């Protein structure tokens, strides 16, 4: 049995998260796009550029099918949130917060 206080805390967090997403103009993004965005922000905190495989294999995208992961990455590139960068002939990504 789940503790009622834990459920209440979870509900308050979800409500706060949805409110913040709406305030930031992200309320039209799909759950997969929001998870990918969170993964991108997580990867960007450690370094400016990251490999596509690091994003695809991120733990927040674990429940998303491989094909959906690539569709989400493409969607975020089109939105301008995810910026491809060529470093020494290899493709990397960087967060473009101006695209949000």
Of the pLDDT bands very low, low, confident and very high (cuts 50, 70, 90), residue 5 is very high
Residue 47: φ, ψ to 5°: -160, 165
As a whole number of angstroms, the distance between CA 1 and CA 69 comes to 34
Give the pLDDT confidence of 12-71 residue by residue, as tens digits. 999 999 999 999 889 889 999 999 999 999 999 999 999 999 999 999 999 999 999 999
Find out whether 60 and 42 touch, Cβ atoms under 8 Å. Answer: yes
**Cα 48 to Cα 58, 76, 83, distances in angstroms:** 16, 17, 11
Please identify which residue in the block is written with the tokens 């733990």.
59
Torsion of Cα atoms, 91 then 97 then 98 then 99, to 10°? 70
């Amino acid at each position: 049995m789940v503790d009622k206080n834990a459920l209440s805390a979870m509900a308050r967090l979800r409500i706060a998260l949805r409110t913040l997403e709406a305030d930031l103009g992200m309320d039209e993004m799909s759950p997969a796009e929001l998870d990918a965005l969170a993964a991108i922000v997580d990867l960007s905190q450690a370094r400016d550029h990251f490999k596509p495989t690091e994003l695809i294999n991120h733990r927040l995208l674990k429940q998303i099918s491989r094909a959906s992961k690539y569709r989400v990455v493409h969607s975020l590139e089109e939105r301008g949130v995810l910026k491809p960068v060529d470093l020494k002939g290899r493709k990397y990504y960087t967060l473009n917060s101006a695209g949000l």
